[in-house]
Amino acid sequence: MHTYRFHTALAGPFFALARGTGPGLTADALVQALTGVVVRELVTAPQGGYDVELRLDRQSHEDALAEIEAVLGQLGFAMLQALITEWTTSAIEGAVLGAAAGGAGMGSLTKDPVSAVLAAVLVGGVGAIVGSTMETVKARFTAEKAHPFGGGWQVTQITPAGTDLGPEPA
């Protein structure tokens, strides 16, 4: 899973003048325009515009950013940089730990191997469910427009891949 956090504002000073106060950006507009997007955050920024965080999975970060940029452009907004976070879930870890704890606990209580196996399967399933809801940061990237008027995105990794950074700070 990938998230894209960025600030967006009206696209140029003349756009705002032509439209009065300018259009508002809504989560519904983003959901309708971007297939498979989840709007995790959309708040009005104190300096104007919006601070946005989207969950969006595409072939590459460049593809996702180009798609986000195109949709924002259609809505009258622009962005110049973004923070990208790659997430991983702990479903397998939760299942293994749950199975080990459940099997060992039930096995030591009953001395029955069948009960131990059943407990391992049940608690392992619960562990997988709980683990799948726990998101851990896998890697972070910054992205900047290569040129303000086009030219794609320059994506730079700021943490090594595979580095377990834990949950994202608040």
Mind listing the pLDDT tens digit for each residue in 101-158?
555 555 556 666 666 566 556 655 555 555 555 677 888 999 998 876 767 889 999 9
Q: What is the pLDDT of residues 16-52, one digit of tens each?
A: 544 445 568 999 999 999 999 999 999 999 988 899 9
What is the DSSP-derived secondary structure letter of residue 123? Answer: H
- Asked if 54 contacts 30 with a C-beta cutoff of 8 angstroms, the reply is yes
Dist CA 58 CA 40 (whole Å): 17
